[in-house]
Amino acid sequence: MKSIYLHQWQRFRRAPMLVVSFFLLTVVFVFTLAGFQSDDKFTVLALVKEGSSDQAAEEWIDRLNESEGMFFDLREEEEVREMMRDGRRNFALAVGDSDYRMVVAAEDANLMRVESYTAQVFREEFRLMQAEEAGGENIREDIQSSLEDPVLTVTTETIEGAEGTFVYDNQIQTLFGMTLFFSIYTMIFSLMNVTEEKRTGTWDRLIVSPLKKSQMYIGHFLYCFTVGCAQIVVIFLLFKYGLGFDLGGNFPAILIVVGCYAFAIVALGTLLMGLVKSSQQLQAVIPIVATAMAMLGGAFWPIEIVTNNIVLFLSQGMPILYALDALKSIAIYGRGLADLAQPLSILIIFGVVCMGVGVNLMERRG
């Protein structure tokens, strides 16, 4: 087993392009989609609602821009509509004298967050206005000074992670989603060494050696597992320490999730190898499976925003869903391993079943 495992690394040193290219692709995608936003506010385009005054809209925008996480950019209606037509923006905020409307061209993961924040600001402002009408003109200043120098401080803790709670972090979503997605390619393409060996005859050479078949398979699986884990962990560390992504404080738990996920993907690759007849077929199947799994499993967008019951049902069969769930639980909600028993168990069971069936199918074919 050790000789097979080390031999795979020797082959990797001679032909590293496959793994390196998927590593670089992950870095480029994560950096492009999430890396630039590390210090910037999320920009929301805004326009003046038809029949409303510019001045009132500007006042609302100033109020909305008190947020630390978002920047509302008021522009001409025509300009905003053109940007939406071109696909540069999926939605915008139309601000009226005393109301607002979301103008949506396409689904967007940030839409819910923006709408929720806007509604909150409008609600607060109306309450203040009502209070001003009832209690005098100085109420706003009184509230402001009370906020700056409170009589007592109340610390509020949300029960994060409770049913229905959804915290969206674009950086974490992109980093986890893209890294797990591209690692599928790395692991399953690396596993193709087995089919290649069978094609070229070196596999038969190994069979007639004193090595056991189980040692041969484990040597290959262990290599794919290691290379997959290494890719994921190096990328996580790069973005954590290089670009300041907040992965939470429990990196050992992240490593365990990565290990379970890599095991499940190597097993899935084994099943695919058992199902197809040649490495050419496998090459065609891998992108289909990887992309479908990433789309259904929530690698490209948070699964929490998906409402279609069929998609949600199908997503239950995707190992990437459980890995993302576990990783986000650690990074966003600060949960520990004890809370991750369910997704991790599912990943391990998925892996054991796929590997057992896959190896059997391959052996049956001879």
Q: Give the footprint of other proteins on this chain (CB under 8 A).
A: 3-4, 7, 10-11, 14-15, 200-202, 204-211, 366
Let me know: does 120 contact 66? Beta carbons within 8 Å: no
DSSP 180-237: HHHHHHHHHHHHHHHHHHHHHTHHHHHHTSS--HHHHHHHHHHHHHHHHHHHHHHHHH
Question: Which residue lies nearer to other proteins by CB, 219 or 351?
Answer: 219
Question: Which residue lies nearer to other proteins by CB, 21 or 291?
Answer: 21
Question: Which residue lies nearer to other proteins by CB, 154 or 208?
Answer: 208
Q: Least distance from C-beta 270 to other proteins, angstroms? A: 22
| DSSP-derived secondary structure letter, 361 | H
Question: Which residue lies nearer to other proteins by CB, 179 or 195?
Answer: 195
Q: Least distance from C-beta 71 to other proteins, angstroms? A: 52
Say how many CA atoms lie within 13 Å of 98 toward its Cβ. Answer: 4
| Distance separating alpha carbons of residues 147 and 143, to the nearest angstrom | 6
Q: Least distance from C-beta 6 to other proteins, angstroms? A: 8
- The answer for residues whose C-beta is within 8 angstroms of residue 217's C-beta and 6 or more apart is 194, 359
Q: Least distance from C-beta 5 to other proteins, angstroms? A: 12
Q: Least distance from C-beta 220 to other proteins, angstroms? A: 14
Q: What tokens does 174 get?
A: 């992109």
| Distance separating alpha carbons of residues 184 and 290, to the nearest angstrom | 6
Q: Least distance from C-beta 325 to other proteins, angstroms? A: 39
| Distance separating alpha carbons of residues 324 and 328, to the nearest angstrom | 6
125, containing H or E segment: helix 111-135
Question: Which residue lies nearer to other proteins by CB, 85 or 205?
Answer: 205
Question: Which residue lies nearer to other proteins by CB, 7 or 240?
Answer: 7
Question: Which residue lies nearer to other proteins by CB, 211 or 243?
Answer: 211
116, 242, 328 from 110: Cα distances, Å: 10, 25, 17
Q: Least distance from C-beta 363 to other proteins, angstroms? A: 12
| Distance separating alpha carbons of residues 28 and 24, to the nearest angstrom | 6
Q: Least distance from C-beta 204 to other proteins, angstroms? A: 6
Total residues found in the chain within this entry? 366
Q: Least distance from C-beta 211 to other proteins, angstroms? A: 5
Question: Which residue lies nearer to other proteins by CB, 3 or 116?
Answer: 3
- Which letter, b or e, does each residue of 78-113 get, where b requires 16 or more Cβ atoms within 10 Å of its Cβ? eebbebbeeeebbbbbbbbeeebeebebeeeeebeb
Question: Which residue lies nearer to other proteins by CB, 77 or 196?
Answer: 196
Q: What tokens does 153 get?
A: 């401080």
Give me the amino acid identity at 317. G
Q: Map residue 47 onto helix, strand or coil.
A: strand
Quick count: other Cβ atoms within 10 Å of Cβ 214? 10
Q: Least distance from C-beta 234 to other proteins, angstroms? A: 23
307, containing H or E segment: none
User: For residue 323, which of 293, 356, 357, 285 has the smallest C-alpha distance?
Assistant: 293
Question: Which residue lies nearer to other proteins by CB, 65 or 283?
Answer: 283
Q: Map residue 49 onto helix, strand or coil.
A: coil
